[in-house]
Amino acid sequence: DIVMTQSPDSLAVSLGERATINCRSSQSVLHRPTNNNYLAWYQQKPGQPPKMLIYWASTRKSGVPDRFSGSGSGTDFTLTISSLQTEDVAVYYCQQYHTTPPTFGQGTRVEIQ
In the complex, which residues of this chain contact another protein (CB under 8 A)? 1, 31, 33-34, 36, 38, 40, 42, 49-52, 55, 61, 93, 95, 97, 100-107
By beta-carbon proximity to another protein, the closer residue of 28 and 102 is: 102
For residue 100, give every residue at least 6 positions away whose Cβ sits within 8 Å of its Cβ, in sequence order, or none.
none
Judge if the upstream peptide bond of residue 46 is cis by omega within 30 degrees of 0: no
By beta-carbon proximity to another protein, the closer residue of 34 and 86 is: 34
Quote the least distance from Cβ 89 to another protein, whole Å: 17
CA angle centred on 68, ends 67 and 69, rounded to 5°: 115
By beta-carbon proximity to another protein, the closer residue of 78 and 106 is: 106
Q: Of all helices (H) and strands (E), which one includes residue 60? A: strand 59-60
In whole angstroms, give the CA distance from residue 33 to residue 36: 8
Quote the least distance from Cβ 75 to another protein, whole Å: 18
Quote the least distance from Cβ 87 to another protein, whole Å: 18
In whole angstroms, give the CA distance from residue 54 to residue 70: 7
Quote the least distance from Cβ 85 to another protein, whole Å: 22
